[in-house]
Structure 1
Amino acid sequence: MASGKRNLEAAIATEATRLGFADCAIAPASLGPQTAARLQRWLADGCHGDMLWMEARADQRAEPQVLWSEVRSVIMLGMSYAPARDPFALADHPDRGRISVYSQGGDYHKTVKTALKALARWIVDQADDIQVKVFVDTAPVMEKPLAMAAGLGWQGKHTNLVSRTHGSWLFLGAIYTTLELEPSGAGQDRCGSCTACQDVCPTNAFPAPYRLDARRCISYLTIEHAGPIPAELRRGIGNHVYGCDDCLAVCPWNKFADSAHRNQAFLPRAELAAPSLADLLALDDAQFRSVFAGSPIKRSGRVRMVRNALIAAGNSGDPALTAPVAALLDDAEPVVRGAAVWALAQLDPARFAAESAASLAGEEDAGVLAEWQLARAPLRV
């Protein structure tokens, strides 16, 4: 390979660092048939739950050249959001909601994509007739297998990327390009016999190492899933109200991650670091939009956040939350009303027995009525 080409690849990495990326490497523009086969098995088993967009463009997701036939190399970038404090810190504070580390600061879509576009423009300026496309989490791109193919790390037993330098705390972005670049070399699996991420999951979302059933995953349930959270999984939710870091945070490789490498855009906002469940339960639409402006949480909407806060309230055992929970029995949204029924029955069975029948006298939503019957059964009322 010509020295000029090597110099270009080194220069790309240098420019990526200047733009705020913590790591940069080159993957080939093909993931191979094994990746496609694993994806198809996962989809066939229904492990993607309600995420129908995962199957809609599965062929493009499994193979970069199906998405864009002209791609010759994939530049994979990682931007650190390593936390400065223990993600488990709020586990023993049931009156507080736990928000995933990645969502406590600015919206990563905007930050990563802005830097990717700047790097792509820089690359295009280096030579004639170069084409590029940039992707951050919103296109049919398998970022984690590509990151492993590029050598940024490996997909751990929790299915997320693990880096020897940055642990589990990297946002991933991809630049597809017509440039013929030399691949950096694939990452090697270094999980060994460790099962920490499998063992810590509160909802048993890993049927086997390296395999995730999203239907049981707290991140999926609290972010992607729009309906009621399955009753058998609610206790496992604990006080998670948006996402979950448990399987990431427990990884031993995080001891090498340094929050000094974190992009400053992801510094946690005070109001998102440890929100009170009482405040979350009181949110109306306007307040939700105001509190979560500029955050990736805003995309999920007020209904899911309040539903999640109700599940956390029901798990809290905190009698101070009984009144704000009861107030939501009359919410305009059926999913919220149903979660309020369950939460009130957990917090104060006597008040539930006394008030729920009157509150639900005119209820027509089948889901809410089913929640009511489920909650009434143990009380024999």
Structure 2
Amino acid sequence: MQTQKIDFAAVQQAFLAAGFDLVGVTDCSPLTGARLARWLARGYAADMEWIGRSFRSRVDPRRLLPGCRSIVVAAAAYEPGRPPTDSSPGKYAVIASYALGPDYHRILRRRCREAVTQLQRTSGQPQKFRIAVDSGPVLEQEIAVRVGLGVIGRNSLLLTPSFGSYVLLAEVLMDTWVKTPEQKPPSRHICLDCRKCVQACPTHALTEEGLVDSRRCISYLTIEHRGPIPEPLRPLLGTHVFGCDICQEVCPANRVRSAPRAPFLPGSPAESRYPSFQELLRMSPEEFKEKFRGTPVARTGYQRFMRNVCVAAGNSGDRSLKPLLESLLSRRGDDPLIREHAEWALEILG
């Protein structure tokens, strides 16, 4: 039986209508995985060994969806958070912009399902598909470059012509052929001799070849890392309590951007991205769940989040926070992770 094909225009229309800003399609031929292989070989994965274990599936999408014929990669743009009126260094805790609103994993999955449902309604295909949003073993950046959505910058992020690096990616593997247009070659690498991100990274996590050493990355340390934050790195984390946007904030590719088609962050108000230490240090586990329910921050859990808050409070230089740290110790001192970092912060504040 001859396999029906779907026109790229129909795919693009369905995904744009679902709220994505950029759409590309490629076949399911194997990827190179060259950047990932270098990253793993240098030990930059830290304790994320599971990434290496899934290498074969990452480079061959057909292992993820038997009968896969096409991959749609779609990008959703978002706006970075507005700075607070008083942005004095150390006065506020800092949360990465993408984490301010509802968890993007759920939103982008829903948009992908809407787009696929529309395609099924109009063409009867695909019959089988698999959605991946920053969690499945998919080389999303390499796929995005292959279809011409952008290039990988020295900060290791996808840089798009219209939205810079402020995009989140989703992929749909399908058992359907898509009549793809002639693929545009990737844009000229705009980094050239620019090293702003490398120079701005406080922990020196960015390498000259565009890789991130997770062992030193603020985003990794405040989100993925499960144990104590290495003491030599604590002063370098500044007041970041979840993620980091420094390498995006200094990137020239982000100076002029188009507006997202369907924004899904709540305007990124300053009070969301820059909460006060007074509020955070007083939080109970129940208050943490209530404040961050449904956001990416929730996945860190109370224990690790308070670990981060303690380090940030110590780095703030604000000695008025000492009573709050002591109160946290009296309430949660039986938790060794919180106790270690609260005591460190008190020692730093003197």
- Contact 1:196/1:251 (8 A) holds in 2: yes
Residues 146-176 of structure 1: per-residue CA shift (max 9 Å, x gap): 1111111111111111101001111100011
Q: CA deviation at 1:294?
A: 1.6
1:112 aligned to 108, 111, 136, which one?
108
Is 1:153 aligned to residue 150 of structure 2? yes
Residues 52-110 of structure 1: per-residue CA shift (max 9 Å, x gap): 22123121122212322321211110111122635x98863413111000001111011
Q: CA deviation at 1:51?
A: 1.6
Q: What does residue range 93-112 of structure 1 map to in structure 2 within 5 Å?
A: 93-112=89-108
Is 1:61 aligned to residue 58 of structure 2? yes
2:345 aligned to 338, 343, 346, which one?
343
Instruction: Give the helix-richer structure, 1 or 2.
Output: 1
Name the CA shift for 1:80/1:156 in 2 (closer, same or farther; >3 Å). same
* 1:378 alignment counterpart: none
Identical positions, percent: 33
Name the CA shift for 1:11/1:102 in 2 (closer, same or farther; >3 Å). same
Q: CA deviation at 1:11?
A: 2.2
Is 1:9 aligned to residue 11 of structure 2? no
The secondary structure found in structure 2 opposite 1:321 is helix
Is 1:334 aligned to residue 346 of structure 2? no
Is 1:140 aligned to residue 137 of structure 2? yes
The secondary structure found in structure 2 opposite 1:214 is coil
Q: What does residue range 223-238 of structure 1 map to in structure 2 within 5 Å?
A: 223-238=223-238
Unmatched runs of 5 consecutive residues or more in structure 2: none
2-structure distance, mates of 1:265, 1:304: 24
Instruction: Find the structure with the greater CA-based Rg.
Output: 1
Q: CA deviation at 1:298?
A: 0.6
Name the CA shift for 1:169/1:190 in 2 (closer, same or farther; >3 Å). same
Between 1:22-31 and 1:215-224, the stretch displaced more is 22-31
The secondary structure found in structure 1 opposite 2:340 is helix
Q: CA deviation at 1:259?
A: 4.0
The secondary structure found in structure 2 opposite 1:312 is helix
Q: CA deviation at 1:289?
A: 0.2
Name the CA shift for 1:136/1:307 in 2 (closer, same or farther; >3 Å). same
Structure 1: which amino acid aligns with 2:111? A
Structure 2: which amino acid aligns with 1:161? L
- Contact 1:168/1:254 (8 A) holds in 2: yes
2-structure distance, mates of 1:226, 1:40: 24
Root-mean-square deviation (CA), in Å? 2.2
1-structure distance, mates of 2:289, 2:300: 11
Structure 2: which amino acid aligns with 1:56? R
* TM-score normalised by length of structure 2: 0.91
Q: CA deviation at 1:265?
A: 4.1
Unmatched runs of 5 consecutive residues or more in structure 1: 349-381
* TM-score normalised by length of structure 1: 0.84
1-structure distance, mates of 2:129, 2:171: 10
Q: CA deviation at 1:279?
A: 1.3
The aligned length equals 341
